Chain A
């Protein structure tokens, strides 16, 4: 028997480890979820999933995550731009602050945000008095919490790409007569866009799954500000395991589909810009 040899050594142990890891941590738990929900009939499944409260929570989860991811992408891009392009005192401190939401227990973030954004809180009062906007205990509160949680994902994916961006391209564009706006729109943005899309996907995925920070600021009113992860926990607490798994599985499939679409979009963007 002849052995096919690879140029890069260590293929077998590396792929074995990868598959082992994926099985243990991802595939086995997720397939358990599928098997568990297979015990239910199709009618039961439809019944659970089409319940008004469930549908409303799906809407809340995905819409808030989408809005938060869009806003986090814009803010994150600006922060990354500032960190890469301008030298200023305290830059390293700011750089370290960006990662704080990674390390902070999300429940702490939720409690702090709820405290300052509630109608009697520091910022919440200002917003209430001057604009009549209530943030906490509303879907808007969920968006605020998700932005806080997901900005570092955008900053840390865009930053290295901005750093590697060849500024000579900007100079070339200027020398050809392009103004600042044209340089940004036609040269800088198209080169950063694939990375921004990755950051967006990460922020969105994180937002859909976020639990800890949201439940403190959301108010958790059924039909208004109740998110899917909370509904799952509620079902579990009521020993409704079937209901919980069905909702979890549905959420998983929707998230997977959305991430797949984003990935395909990214591929298309890269291909169109000659980066593939």
Chain B
């Protein structure tokens, strides 16, 4: 089901959480609402769900105006950050809940409910836990049960509020992969909220970047990474080195082979766009290698700019492990830099 939001605004007292949000999400996408904490992403998700009312604007699901409809009639599935499982019910009864509260005419028989619940528990690979209580499960298991519970009513839209936020790193990694596969299988339009840009890039087919209650950019992960619309998006997605162009920086940047025309006042350079070579002439070297860290396949290198003034700022560069070994540089060595490209902003 497609989602269309028009002119959504929301205030909490003096604080303006969302300004005039317009967003269209085509059917079958897996969308990430990405932004720093307090940017309004959870509020937006709750407005789509009907758990929160917008001050202005409309919410259309599949072209139908659902703005005034109560959450129980919207046909959405909602997954909470802290699971919100019914702690007085077994796992089985949790998943069966949505089917059992249907009115008599639509309610399936107990036998149908049982087979459906077991099928869903198979889907999340937790059928063996069906008679346990939520308090007896681990965080990752609880979140998968919460997802099964939301899927039981066959929602046309699946909304997930920081679904992996309360889980530890390794479980989170597994679940991300698993969620993407699940979405591939079910193909239900899904939106998840996250503050983790890595998670958004890895899981989503579309990313919507929010800041201060406004949409900064919407696009595919590669779009957003390669063509950030503004300074905020560039800084928020992945690591960047920021150069504010005064006379010194401009001069220094030119020595790295970067074209400094009047493209803008601020340059953002990705760490992997900095190429390092051993300095041929140490007196003319552009930087000094300060330190480096092993990140697995990549090495992160800390560099100090070699300039006459006092602005001895640190830069970060990244290169593959093997390539770094071939360089044969040590801490304190002078190096030459070659910056391949930068994103320019005013």
Chain A residues with CB under 8 Å of chain B are: 166, 168-169, 171-179, 182, 186-187, 190-191, 273-275
Contacts and interface: CB of A to CB of B under 8 A. Distances in A.
A175 B149 CA distance: 11
B149 to A, nearest CB: 7
A182 B103 CA distance: 11
Contacts of A174: 51, 70-72
B164 interface: no
The 9 closest A-B pairs by CB, nearest first: A274-B133, A273-B88, A176-B98, A168-B84, A175-B78, A178-B101, A172-B84, A190-B88, A174-B71
Contacts of B98: 176-178
B228 interface: no
A171 B51 contact: yes
A76 to B, nearest CB: 21
Contacts of A191: 87-88
B49 interface: yes
A112 B78 CA distance: 54
Contact of A171 (B71, B73, B135): B71
A182 B100 CA distance: 10
B101 A172 contact: no
17 contacts: A166-B82, A168-B80, A168-B82, A173-B86, A174-B71, A174-B72, A175-B77, A177-B102, A177-B153, A179-B72, A182-B101, A186-B97, A186-B101, A187-B86, A273-B88, A274-B88, A275-B135
A166 B84 CA distance: 7
Nearest to B132: A274
Given A186-B101, A275-B87, A177 B72 contact: yes
Given A182-B101, A274-B133, A274-B135, A175 B76 contact: yes
Interface of B: 49, 51, 70-74, 76-78, 80, 82, 84-90, 97-98, 101-102, 133-136, 146, 149-150, 152-153
A175 to B, nearest CB: 4
B90 A173 contact: no
B234 to A, nearest CB: 35
A169 B84 contact: yes
A36 B225 CA distance: 88
A177 B153 CA distance: 8
Contacts of A273: 87-89
Contacts of B101: 173, 176-179, 182, 186
A168 B46 CA distance: 12
Chain A interface, DSSP helix/strand/loop, else mixed:
helix
A181 to B, nearest CB: 10
A175 B147 CA distance: 13
A186 B152 CA distance: 18
Contacts of B97: 173, 176, 178, 186
Contacts of B80: 168, 171-172
A176 B153 contact: yes
Nearest to B49: A175
| Most chain B CB neighbours (cut-off 10 Å) among A172, A182, A190, A275 | A172
Contact of B72 (A169, A178, A187, A274): A178
A273 B136 CA distance: 12
A168 B80 CA distance: 8
A177 to B, nearest CB: 5
Nearest to B82: A168
Contacts of B90: 274
Contacts of B77: 175-176
A73 B126 CA distance: 40
B342 to A, nearest CB: 45
A178 B87 CA distance: 17
Contacts of A179: 72, 101
Contacts of A182: 101
A175 B88 contact: no
Nearest to A171: B51
Nearest to A269: B88
A114 to B, nearest CB: 43
A187 B87 CA distance: 9
A5 B149 CA distance: 47
Given A190-B88, A274-B135, A171 B72 contact: no
Contact of B134 (A187, A190, A274): A274
Contacts of B149: 172, 176
Nearest to A180: B72
A173 B80 CA distance: 12
A227 B339 CA distance: 94
Given A171-B51, A172-B85, 16 more contacts: A168-B82, A171-B80, A171-B84, A172-B84, A175-B51, A176-B72, A176-B98, A177-B73, A177-B98, A178-B98, A178-B101, A187-B86, A191-B88, A274-B134, A275-B87, A275-B88
| Most chain A CB neighbours (cut-off 10 Å) among B51, B73, B76, B84 | B84
Contacts of A275: 87-88, 135
